[in-house]
Amino acid sequence: MRNNKYYTIYLEWAEKIKSGEIKPGEILPSENDLTKTYKTSRETIRKALNLLAQNGFIQKVKGKGSIVLDVQKMSLPFSGLVSFKEVSEHSGMKTKTTVHEFALMKPNEFIKQQLQASPKDEVWKIVRSRNINGEEIILDKDYLLRKHVPFLSKEICEGSIYEYLEKKLKLNISFAKKEIIVEKVTDEDRKYLELDRFDHIVVVKNHVYLDDAALFQYTESRHRLDKFRFVDFARRGL
Amino acid sequence: MRNNKYYTIYLEWAEKIKSGEIKPGEILPSENDLTKTYKTSRETIRKALNLLAQNGFIQKVKGKGSIVLDVQKMSLPFSGLVSFKEVSEHSGMKTKTTVHEFALMKPNEFIKQQLQASPKDEVWKIVRSRNINGEEIILDKDYLLRKHVPFLSKEICEGSIYEYLEKKLKLNISFAKKEIIVEKVTDEDRKYLELDRFDHIVVVKNHVYLDDAALFQYTESRHRLDKFRFVDFARRGL
DNA sequence: AAGTGGTCTAGACCACAAC
DNA sequence: TTGTGGTCTAGACCACTTT
C-alpha cells in the first residue's frame, strides 16, 4: 500500500486494537520501547501513535502512556469519507444498486454553482438507488466533472464509482466538505424510494476534492429518516 | 493560551485565512521560507502546516506548496465538538436557554449503560431548551458524572456548562463519540419545543471524554428537523 | 537544475505521573 | 528518582513539480 515506516506501524496497531488483541483500557508499550522493537527513531513512532490518536484508537496521556480506547461500539463505517460500497461490504448487509439516470450533460445553474464549473464544462449525472435488505432506502445523486473523469459507463455506476476512480483512473480523492440537513421529500424521492408516509428525508451533501485541491464531484445522498445513521469521532480544539 | 511555537504559528495563519487576508487558491510561503521568518526548525513549521491541513485551511501538494482552501462557505461552527454557546456567539443569533430540569440522581439502567457508571455513582441530570430567534428549537438532555463534577447549579446551566467545566473546574474535555439519528417525537419534545406538526426529530447523541480517557458526560441534543444542520470537513484515509 | 513537500534520524530539554 | 509523552532542533535523503 504505502512504504512509509510510520504508516505500517500504524496499521499494525490499529489492527491489534480492532481485532481485540489489545483491549480497551490497556496501555501500549512506551514510545521508547517501540523505537527499540521497530529499530526506528522516536519521531517516527510518534507519527504512528498520533495517527492512532486522531482516528480514535488511543488516548495519549502525558506521564502515563497511550491508553487503548473502545473502538468496537463506534461502528466506524459511517464515519468520515466512505463510499456506499465500502460501508455495505464491512457491515455484511445484502445490498443492491439500481442506476436510474446516467447522462453527460451541460450543467444547469445549480450544478454550475456547486461544482464551480464554467459554462463549457461537461458533467456526468448519475442517479442511483440503494436497496438494503430488500428495501429501497437511499437515493444517490452524483455529479462529476468530465474534465477529471473522461469516461464513465452505466456498468461502472452499478458497482463502485470510487473504486473505478481510484484504481483505474488513479485519481486521488483527498478530502470532502460534508453537510447534513433534513429536507421535504420530493417527487423524485417518492419515485425511487419506499418512503411510506415519511414526508421528510435526510440529505447528506458532499463536495469532494482531489489531492491537488480541485473540486471534482458534488453528491447528494438522500436517506430515509428511519434508516439514517451517522457516527463520528471528534477531537476538541486541534 | 499555549506556549507552543507550532500552535502559535498555526493560529496566526488560520487567522490570516479566515479573515481573507490570504485568499483561496493562493500559495503559502514554502516551508523553508517559514523556517527563516520564524527562526525555527522545519519540523516545527510542518506541525503548524499539518494542523492547518487537518482543519481544512490548506491542502499540501508535493512539489508545489500549500494551497489555501475556501474556508468561508464551510460555516465551520457546527463542525466537530462545539458547545451551543460557542456556536450561537459566533453566528450572532439571538438565543436564550431555559432550564426545565436540574437534579442530582441515581442513574437508571439507560444512563448506567451510557455512562458506564457503577450503581453508587451519582449523576447530574439537566434538561434545557434553546430558543433561537424567538423559537424553541433544541432540547438538550445532559447527564454528567458527579465523580468528575462535584458541584453544579441551575445558574451555571443557564449559561455555558462547558465554560464552567473548563475554566473553573479545569477539566480538559478531549474527545467525543458522536452519533446522529432521527427519532419519533416524544411527549417531552412536544412539551418543551415548538414542533408544529413535525413528528420526527434529529437526535445528536454525544459521549464526551476527558483527557485521561475517562467518560464523564452523555448528552442528547434534539433538534427540530427544519432547523438542523451539521457540517464537517473530512480527510480520506489517514 | 532548482525548489517543493514527505520521510526519517539522533539527539536534547521539558512537564507530568508514578514509585 | 525514574519513566512517560510533548516540544524542538539541525541535519539528511527522497519523490515530485516547475523552470
Least confident of A96-110, B25-39, B110-124, B162-176: B162-176
What integer pLDDT is reported at residue B81 of this predicted model? 42
Helix (H) or strand (E) holding B84: helix B84-91
B154, pLDDT greater than 80: yes
Chain D nucleotides reached by a protein CB under 7 Å: 3-12, 15-18
- The domains found in chain A, sorted by start residue, are 5-73 (1.10.10.10), 76-227 (3.40.1410.10)
* Residues on chain A touching B228 (C-beta within 8 angstroms): 180-182
Nearest residue in chain B measured CA to CA from A177: B233
* Residues on chain B touching A231 (C-beta within 8 angstroms): 177-180
Per-residue pLDDT of A44-60, as tens digits, reads 999 999 999 999 999 99
What integer pLDDT is reported at residue A168 of this predicted model? 82
Q: Which residues pair with A173 in a beta bridge?
A: A210
Nucleotide nearest to B32 (CA to C1'): C4
Give the residue, A10 or B169, on which the prediction is more confident.
A10
Interface test with B, best of A26, A58, A59, A196 (most B CBs within 10 A): A59
Footprint of strand C on the protein (CB under 7 A): A 2-7, 39-44, 47, 61-64; B 28, 30-33, 42-43, 46, 49, 60-66
Nearest residue in chain B measured CA to CA from A62: B212
What integer pLDDT is reported at residue A79 of this predicted model? 43
What integer pLDDT is reported at residue B110 of this predicted model? 94
Under the phi-then-psi rule, with left for phi > 0, alpha for psi from -120 to 50, and beta for the rest, what region is B101?
beta
The protein residue nearest C4 (Cα–C1') is B63
Give the residue, B190 or A197, on which the prediction is more confident.
B190
DSSP string, A14-81: HHHHHHTSS-TT-BPPPHHHHHHHHT--HHHHHHHHHHHHHTTSEEEETTTEEEEP--GGG-GGGSSS
B201, pLDDT greater than 80: yes
